[in-house]
Amino acid sequence: MKKYIVMTASQHINFPRRIAKAALVLIETDELPEGRTVPAMISERARGVVEITELHEKLNVGKTGRCAFSRCVAELEQRASELNSIAHIINLLDD
């Protein structure tokens, strides 16, 4: 079964500043290793990843929900939810 998920990764640059990246990733859940629910890294080479649909790099991580990283993750989660519901409807129509 294919589904869209949001993955994030961050790193410290010139402490205390932090930057992060966020990605909307299409995964094949049947190809993931046993016991894992998400791929190990944000890469098309990772096992289970079909496609990286959107990748946003070098996002500033702030202390509030108004920072670039928080806004981007919220937007990607909404988009992932919409795409997963569309995919579910298509699967129901195919059956």
Decide if pLDDT at 14 tops 80. no
Q: Tell me how far CA of residue 67 lies from CA of 7, 19, 26, in angstroms.
A: 17, 11, 25
Look at residue 30 in the predicted model and tell me its pLDDT.
Answer: 85
Domain residue limits at 68: 2-94
Predicted confidence (pLDDT) per residue in 47-78, tens digit? 999 999 999 999 999 889 999 999 999 999 99
**What element of type H or E holds 26?**
strand 18-28
Give the chain's domain count. 1
The per-residue pLDDT for 18 is: 87
pTM of the predicted protein model = 0.86
Q: Given a cut of 90, is residue 84 above it in pLDDT? A: yes
